[in-house]
Amino acid sequence: MQYEAVIGLEVHAQLLTQSKIFCSCSTQFGSEPNTQVCPVCLGMPGVLPVLNKKAVEYTIKTGLAMNCKIASYSRFARKNYFYPDLPKGYQISQYELPLCEEGYLEITVNNERRKIRIKRIHLEEDAGKNIHDPSGYSFVDFNRTGVPLMEIVSEPDIKTPAEAASYMKKLRTILRYLGVCDGNLEQGSLRCDANISIRPVGSEEFGVKTEIKNINSFRFVEKALEYEIKRQIRILTDGGKITQETRLWDSQTGTTQSMRSKEEAHDYRYFPEPDLVPVVVSKDFIERIKKDMPELPDKKIEKFIKQYNLPNYDAEILTEEKSIAEWFEEAVKLGGKPKEVSNWIMVELLRLLNEENKDITQCPVKPSQLVELIRLIEKGTINRNTAKEVFEEMYRTGKTAESIVKEKGLTQISDDAILIEALKEVISKNPKEVERFKSGEEKLIGFFVGQVMKNTKGKANPKLVNELILKLLKDT
Amino acid sequence: MGLNNLTLVELGKMIHKGEVRPHEILIDVFNRIQEVEGKVKSFITLTIEKAYEMAKDAENTIFTGKKNIATGIPIAIKDNICTKGILTTCASKILYNFYPPYESTVTEKLLKEKYVLVGKTNMDEFAMGSSTENSGFHITRNPWNLERVPGGSSGGSAAAVAADECIAALGSDTGGSIRQPASFCGVVGLKPTYGRVSRFGLVAFASSLDQIGPLTKCVADSALLMNVIAGYTHMDSTSVPIKSPDFTEKLGKEIKNFKIGIPKEYFIKGMDKEVEERVNEAIKHLESLGCIPIEISLPHTEYAVATYYIIATSEASSNLARYDGVKYGLRVEGKDLLDMYMKTRSKGFGAEVKRRIMLGTYCLSAGYYDAYYKKAQQVRTLIKNDFEKAFKEVDFIVTPTVPSTAFKIGEKIDDPLQMYLSDIFTISVNLGGLPAISIPCGFNKDGLPVGLQIIGKPFNEAEILQLAFAYEQSTPWHTKKPLL
């Protein structure tokens, strides 16, 4: 029998607010354990939460970017369970009335455009981290406790692991465009749980689902889901039944392992958080957020293709990060030809940045400097090969193209007299090759050009050399 | 007679005139404690050294001419209100060693005025109870009759005020925990409107019902303390951002033509005859002062106790989850995490707290939530609506505070339902978020105090105090002292 998968993703995104969701502690990652804590985030007796408005703003911003309805009246709820990393014994989350509902995201997989519906986006607090010591004791680091966390829940509209990965990437791109989350899967600022079931192709009913946790890279989203689909198909083909359970992805073995069954699932005993008043979102507040929204990747791709005539491939790569797209647009605005600028970014710039694991905001070359370099090529001051060398130098030193060309004497030699002199020398030193050329081995022209380039340290204008050499060889 | 017998109003004037110095008051207070605390046992912690330091600090302030309401006044604080660096146990073994690294808003405000902390008062564990018998440490006795309970949960604060072991006290009221012990101990107790006083630093029992308020020897003292502790703070999202009035402003003003509602549902069968008589006499007295009594109906009253015990225990089951032995307080080691949790909570909590955690956990459980918690919230709305409707007709509602006088120690401890009924007249007020006061309105033939409850419209504390003051000033009850 042919099976198809039904997948829904629950994504947790840490918000880039300066302070935690219910107190003024810093949210900075990687500090010494328990240095960013206070009585409020430690849940000490008698303390009360105070909602961070920025966190609400960021969640609404995300909701708007994902085409959601924004609730004018929303509430927080307590999710009750015991765990050492949860100091109050409950997590303040949202249950019945989330901030955002009923949105969608569009993804493109194998040239097929698909709409993935978003069920809800809600705001909650992150838990701390347990640290297990070989001594047998465990420790708890509460620095992460109370960092604002946004949960983005999709409808089960995803059909393949590739779509799931594409959805995750799109989500991450949007979050980074909005500046609400840095999208770092390894550090856990973006986390993904997947709900997955399979059913015979053509069936309308859902199968029994499993939930997969601990997926912490894009590659693992695909791998974990691929594994789980195979596992479920195997069980059904062998005449077995899928158990509803939570499974843990193990990237070491590339498998999922049972964590807890439905019967062992917590009863979270949600109820409205009495320590916080309901959140009332005014139209004004939403309008202000809307005004503050950046141009989103889908809009940018469209613009890059239509306005700048870029191929789809270029447009998608250039828009993956807002900072790259902005760098590109700045260069174009300053007079760089779009395709030329795109080539420089995609071939040279991103390569150099990747080598050092930097992003474009840390790039020493400014868009105006690339445009200047492109102009030098267009004017014939330097040739394309030299330009690559100059570009690397610009990247390393931050100097302008012009000053590098001047300093290193890289200006292209376009003076006929100098070039003829150089050519004559090459001809006189290589009589055999001249003979062979004359007897019809025309491919040897490359050899002569090469020799001239070598002797002029690459500065000769290759176009001119080419023209001159034909003339000179015919004359000898 | 020592300075400890005086009121905040009286001492305030004397300090202002330079007739008395804070340490002199404190000496009398601690002498009295020395004398009677062994019998009454109002306190869990006495902060003697700290108190003398604070008194000295107050004297320096007075010397520079910056005297405020609470400056130099010995005040007792209920042990569920966090005081920085001072043991705060909630009368629970699970917090037997808890020294808060922060100050509650109310004590912060008192500190700013240079008050003097006498000590932390006994209570029912986590404010769960009506007799102070549920304290994890010891029971407190009623100063009017040592065989009887002082009421609860703020029994320690009420007893300390009644026994003149302090000048005034703070308590907390979730279902009657200020008013019921005030009634039993013959003192004044005010529960402010929900949101009037910051809950920051009040160890939560039921967050949507808890409110801090004063327990004092007279009405004017409560008004003065309200001037210190009331007001919005950003630290408590449920505190209401409105300006507080001067709560003493209306004291002494006429109460002619005030319409006072008498709810027929509050004069129930099985109510103590003498209590009913005293309250009826009080209503007559108010009438003689110009008030107009009007019979009203609060039809959903009979559901109040059930509603309260679902909402309060549900919230409590969640609020008390943090006491797990991981971070502070008691930890009993176990063979694994779950074992440590269970041993710690089994040993740390008393029977009543456990009973309420179980009740609340049950009410919130999957499959029961709609039938209990959700339904209770709906009934709560109906009870609120009853009050709103009544307050369209009347300015105040007057009732007995408790259906009985102080009962005997041990009398109801094995019968939780009987104990819960002790709060039958006070609970609805918390569900409605309303302000209400209990003031002494006489004694029964055994010499036990009876309390009169005056309920007002939201944020009408000043008006409640006005009416209460008029009653008090024309009756002798507040001048009576227990013989100890």
In a domain, A359, yes or no: no
Q: Of A270, A287, A304, which residue is a domain's last?
A: A287
High-pLDDT (> 90) share of chain B, % = 93
What pLDDT does A475 receive? 66
CB contact under 8 A, B100 and A84: no
- A136–B contact, CB cutoff 8 A: no
Q: Of A219, A253, A287, which residue is a domain's last?
A: A287
Residue A409 pLDDT > 70, yes or no?
Answer: no
For residue B172, the SS3 value is strand
In a domain, A250, yes or no: yes
CA of B310 vs chain A CAs: smallest distance (Å): 13
Q: Are B193 and B435 in contact (CB under 8 A)?
A: yes
Structural domains of chain A, count: 2
- pLDDT band (50, 70, 90) for residue B148: very high
How is A136-173 classified by DSSP, letter by letter? S-EEEE-TTTT-EEEEEEE-S-B-SHHHHHHHHHHHHH
Q: Best residue in B83, B89, B108, B207 to probe A by mutation, most A CBs within 10 Å?
A: B207
Helices A462-475 and A416-429 cross at an angle (nearest 10°) of: 50
CB contact under 8 A, A269 and B327: no
Alpha-helical regions (H) of B124-218: 155-162, 179-185
In a domain, A330, yes or no: no
Residue A336 pLDDT > 90, yes or no?
Answer: no
High-pLDDT (> 70) share of chain A, % = 97
What is the mean predicted confidence (pLDDT) over B431-439? 97
Whole-angstrom distance, CA of residue B40 vs CA of residue B43: 9
Query: Which amino acid does the sequence have at A314?
Result: D
CB contact under 8 A, B102 and A89: no
What pLDDT does A261 receive? 79
- B116–A contact, CB cutoff 8 A: no
- A296–B contact, CB cutoff 8 A: no
What is the mean predicted confidence (pLDDT) over B412-436? 89
What pLDDT does A414 receive? 66
Alpha-helical regions (H) of B219-292: 219-229, 273-288
What is the mean predicted confidence (pLDDT) over B273-278? 94
CA of A115 vs chain B CAs: smallest distance (Å): 34
For residue A447, the SS3 value is helix
CB contact under 8 A, B204 and A80: no
Omega prior to A24 cis, within 30 of 0? no
Q: Kindly report, residue by residue over B302-347, the tens digit of the pLDDT.
A: 999 999 999 999 999 999 999 999 999 999 999 999 999 999 999 9
Nearest to B315 among A42, A49, A274 (CB): A274
CB contact under 8 A, A267 and B101: no
Q: Kindly report, residue by residue over A192-201, the tens digit of the pLDDT.
A: 999 999 998 8
Q: What residues contact residue A155 under an 8 Å CB cut-off, 6+ apart? A: A8, A116, A117, A118, A119
B446 by Cβ neighbours in 10 Å (0-12 / 13-18 / 19+) ranks as: exposed
- pLDDT band (50, 70, 90) for residue A476: low
Q: Are B151 and B158 in contact (CB under 8 A)?
A: yes
CA of B369 vs chain A CAs: smallest distance (Å): 8
Strands B74-78 and A210-215: unpaired
CA of A293 vs chain B CAs: smallest distance (Å): 29
Q: Kindly report, residue by residue over B185-237, the tens digit of the pLDDT.
A: 999 999 999 999 999 999 999 999 999 999 999 999 999 999 999 999 999 99
What is the extent of the structural domain holding A21?
3-287
Whole-angstrom distance, CA of residue A44 vs CA of residue A40: 6
CB contact under 8 A, A82 and B235: no
Nearest to A84 among B206, B326, B373 (CB): B326
CA distances from A441 to A428, A430, A470 (A): 18, 14, 13
Strands A138-141 and A69-70: unpaired
Q: Kindly report, residue by residue over A44-94, the tens digit of the pLDDT.
A: 999 999 999 999 999 999 999 999 999 999 999 999 999 999 999 999 999
Q: Which of A12-26, A34-48, A207-221, B206-220 shows the lowest per-residue confidence on average (mean pLDDT)?
A: A207-221
What pLDDT does B294 receive? 96
In a domain, A134, yes or no: yes
Residue B75 pLDDT > 80, yes or no?
Answer: yes
Structure tokens at A195: 């709900």
- For residue B237, list chain A residues with Cβ-Cβ distance below 8 A: 48-51, 275-277
- pLDDT band (50, 70, 90) for residue B89: very high
What pLDDT does A284 receive? 94
What is the mean predicted confidence (pLDDT) over A335-354? 78
Q: What is the CATH number of the domain that holds A448?
A: 1.10.10.410
Q: Best residue in B322, B331, B374 to probe A by mutation, most A CBs within 10 Å?
A: B322
Nearest to B156 by CA among B314, B44, B302: B44
Residue B113 pLDDT > 90, yes or no?
Answer: yes
In a domain, A396, yes or no: no
Domain definitions of chain B by residue range: 3-254+431-479
Structure tokens at B337: 């995490």
Q: Best residue in B87, B353, B364 to probe A by mutation, most A CBs within 10 Å?
A: B364
What is the mean predicted confidence (pLDDT) over A436-456? 79
Whole-angstrom distance, CA of residue A80 vs CA of residue A266: 9
High-pLDDT (> 70) share of chain B, % = 100
Whole-angstrom distance, CA of residue B21 vs CA of residue B2: 13
Q: Beta-carbon neighbour count of residue A111 at 10 Å?
A: 6
Scan for tokens 């932390």, then name that residue: B120
Q: Beta-carbon neighbour count of residue B373 at 10 Å?
A: 23
Whole-angstrom distance, CA of residue A267 vs CA of residue B366: 6
What is the mean predicted confidence (pLDDT) over A403-412? 69
Q: Best residue in B233, B237, B368 to probe A by mutation, most A CBs within 10 Å?
A: B237
Please provide the average confidence, as pLDDT, over all residues in chain A: 87
Whole-angstrom distance, CA of residue B127 vs CA of residue B136: 11
Q: Kindly report, residue by residue over B389-414, the tens digit of the pLDDT.
A: 999 999 999 999 999 999 999 998 88
Nearest to A148 by CA among A72, A214, A91: A91
Scan for tokens 């014994």, then name that residue: A89
Whole-angstrom distance, CA of residue A183 vs CA of residue A11: 11
Q: Of A259, A287, A315, which residue is a domain's last?
A: A287
CB contact under 8 A, A46 and B204: yes
In a domain, A267, yes or no: yes
Whole-angstrom distance, CA of residue B67 vs CA of residue B199: 26
What is the mean predicted confidence (pLDDT) over A425-452? 80
Query: Which amino acid does the sequence have at A170?
Result: K
What is the mean predicted confidence (pLDDT) over A267-278? 95
Residue with more model confidence, A24 or A388: A24
Nearest to B422 by CA among B438, B406, B408, B399: B406
Structure tokens at B206: 């039921």
Element (H, E) at B118: strand B116-121
CA of B429 vs chain A CAs: smallest distance (Å): 17
Q: What residues contact residue A475 under an 8 Å CB cut-off, 6+ apart? A: none
CB contact under 8 A, B369 and A271: yes
Nearest to A80 among B88, B206, B318 (CB): B318
CB contact under 8 A, A39 and B102: yes
- B170–A contact, CB cutoff 8 A: no
Q: Beta-carbon neighbour count of residue B234 at 10 Å?
A: 10
In a domain, A464, yes or no: yes
CA of B444 vs chain A CAs: smallest distance (Å): 39
Query: Which amino acid does the sequence have at A214?
Result: N
In a domain, A382, yes or no: no
- pLDDT band (50, 70, 90) for residue A466: confident
CA distances from B147 to A361, B141, B185, B318 (A): 78, 7, 13, 35
User: Number of residue pairs across A and B with CB atoms under 8 Å?
Assistant: 100
The domain B3-254+431-479: what is its CATH number? 3.90.1300.10
- pLDDT band (50, 70, 90) for residue A413: low
Please provide the average confidence, as pLDDT, over all residues in chain B: 96
Q: Beta-carbon neighbour count of residue A358 at 10 Å?
A: 12
Whole-angstrom distance, CA of residue B219 vs CA of residue B227: 13
What pLDDT does A386 receive? 74
For residue A72, the SS3 value is coil
Q: Beta-carbon neighbour count of residue A161 at 10 Å?
A: 21
Q: Are B200 and B212 in contact (CB under 8 A)?
A: no
Cα separation of the two ends of chain B: 13
Residue A217 Rama label (left phi>0; alpha psi -120 to 50; beta)? beta
Q: Kindly report, residue by residue over B154-179, the tens digit of the pLDDT.
A: 999 999 999 999 999 999 999 999 99
Would you name the residues of B annotated as active-site residues?
Answer: 78, 153, 177
